[in-house]
Amino acid sequence: MHVSVVGLGFVGLTTAACLAYKGIKVTGIDIDEEKIKMISNNLLPFYEPGLAEKVTQSLKRKDLMLSTDFETLSSSKVTIITVGTPNKNDGTVDLSYLQQAAESVGKVIRKKLDFHVVALKSTVPPGTALGIVAPALERTSGKRVSEGFGICSNPEFLREGNAIQDTLYPDKVVLGIIDKKTKQIMLTLYRQFYYRYKVNLVEVNLQTAELIKYANNAFLATKISFINTIANICQQISGTDVEKVAHAIGLDKRIGPLFLKAGLGYGGSCFPKDVAAIIGIAEQHGYSPDLLKNTEKINQLQPYKAVELLKIMIPDLRDTKVAVLGLAFKPDTTDMREAVSVKIIHALKALGVTVRVYDPMAINEAKKILTNSVLYCKTMKECLSEADACIIVTEWPEFRKLTPHMLRKYMKNTILVDGRRVTSPNTFVGKIAGYVAIGHGN
């Protein structure tokens, strides 16, 4: 089996590297020449734990080849398209990159004699495969879908920071298929890839597979907004703690413990985009998804809880210095897309605060967004130095090492807002000038 992957972003490069790691020949294709040069020189355009090693190994063994030329996919049996599908300003999904990729793939398929499968991993609205991708392929290849080529919806469910594990050992593999030949080829690929690992295979039609991705992320986002709502209730009731509530309800098999971690809201490239997209999709079909609208609204407001809690302890924040620990939207990534830190910093700046920031990995990405509006620090201790208050925004492991002694040693005024519950209230309450944690009713 030889596979080509079109689009070497987070999903595409991870998919290509993992396929090649398992001994499947992979050609990775991207129109960005600089990106291809970087990856070829073992310089990844983003950070993902364990990915660099797999890319390096696969390139060295020549199981992974990289190119900007779509003609190189001609030797493959399956082409996986993973190009971006960002939201437009009006909330609808921009499918222009996908259509361009499909047209380029179709031109190569035109010259092939054998049946070729095009699998879509890009997140797309239901109806995209049949309504946009298949016509583009038919138009440029001169062939008919299910006759000269096959089309499949094969959505991904990768978590940044855990993408390798999620690719190699997924909870499920969803295949949206409309013909037997495509099904057989995709099953052959995944039997080879998941050799000795029993995977839950979900076989549906194309539209259902496309909707599953949105439904999956929308549910997880709703679960996060739910527990943040409970956290905000706990904040108002003395003696309650959202972590204990989450632990208890998570023991219920109908609920489960995952994604019940209260905090400052979700960010990243998937949840905000996909929740907005499924709301738009529903409204286009005449239905108002009020539950998802409230999920989105709760998440948009949640970051400001950090500033609200800080103002309880320091009502007038003018001319104060605040240390912000963590900038990336989650640990183990440099991704700043929809990071809640940006909202918090803008709110602090509007109140006349001098903001000092530190993140173990995302400083360079943050500079592209925050420019010179904040003071960038190289260490946690430097960030804390002479600060009037500190807000923990991202749950990096090193922030768990904070102690009251450390705050007293470095800070001007020992006030801490733990927006991610990486510290223990029992350790800090009464030991520093002011302490508050999300979802902990003092």
Q: For residue range 134-183, list pLDDT tens digits in order.
A: 999 999 999 999 999 999 999 999 999 999 999 999 999 999 999 999 99
Angle at 286 between CA 282 and CA 289, to 5 degrees: 45
β-pair partners for 5: 28, 80
| Residue-level pLDDT at 179 | 96
| Residue-level pLDDT at 89 | 83
Q: Which residue's entry shows tokens 């903001």? A: 355
Query: Quick check: 91 pLDDT over 80?
Result: no
Rounded CA-CA distance 424/277 in Å is 37
Angle at 277 between CA 273 and CA 282, to 5 degrees: 155
Rounded CA-CA distance 135/132 in Å is 6
Q: Which residue's entry shows tokens 């005024």? A: 413
Mean pLDDT of 340-367: 97
Query: Quick check: 1 pLDDT over 90?
Result: no
| Candidates 270, 377, 383, 390; catalytic one | 270
Domains of the chain, by residue range, sit at 2-204, 238-442
Cβ pair 167, 11 in contact under 8 A? no
**pLDDT-derived band at 373, boundaries 50, 70, 90:** very high
Mean pLDDT of 260-275: 95
Rounded CA-CA distance 354/343 in Å is 15
Sheet holding 354-358, edge to edge: 375-376, 354-358, 321-325, 389-392, 415-418, 434-437
Mean pLDDT of 270-275: 94
- CATH assignment of 238-442? 3.40.50.720
Query: Quick check: 350 pLDDT over 80?
Result: yes
Cβ pair 276, 91 in contact under 8 A? yes
| Residue-level pLDDT at 177 | 96
Q: What is the percent of the chain with per-residue pLDDT over 70, rounded to a whole number?
A: 100
| Residue-level pLDDT at 269 | 87
| Chain CA centroid to CA 366, Å | 17
Among candidates 262, 180, 214, 233, which has minimal Cα distance to 93?
Answer: 214
| Residue-level pLDDT at 436 | 96
| Residue-level pLDDT at 441 | 86
Among candidates 306, 224, 235, which has minimal Cα distance to 265?
Answer: 224
Does the active-site annotation cover 152?
A: no
For the domain made up of 2-204, give the CATH fold. Rossmann fold (3.40.50)
Cβ pair 97, 83 in contact under 8 A? yes
Left if phi > 0, otherwise alpha if psi is -120 to 50, otherwise beta: which for 127? Answer: left
Query: Quick check: 19 pLDDT over 80?
Result: yes
Tell me whether the CATH fold assigned to 2-204 matches the one assigned to 238-442: yes
Query: Quick check: 414 pLDDT over 90?
Result: yes
**pLDDT-derived band at 442, boundaries 50, 70, 90:** confident
Question: What is the distance in angstroms between the CA of the first residue and the CA of the last residue of the chain?
Answer: 60
Q: For residue range 276-327, list pLDDT tens digits in order.
A: 999 999 999 999 999 999 999 999 999 999 999 999 999 999 999 999 999 9
| Residue-level pLDDT at 229 | 98
Question: How is residue 286 written in tokens?
Answer: 């005449």
Q: For residue range 184-201, list pLDDT tens digits in order.
A: 999 999 999 998 889 999
Q: For residue range 112-136, list pLDDT tens digits in order.
A: 999 999 999 999 999 999 999 999 9
Cβ pair 160, 268 in contact under 8 A? yes
Rounded CA-CA distance 212/205 in Å is 11
Question: How is residue 221 written in tokens?
Answer: 């986002």
Query: Quick check: 223 pLDDT over 80?
Result: yes
**pLDDT-derived band at 377, boundaries 50, 70, 90:** very high
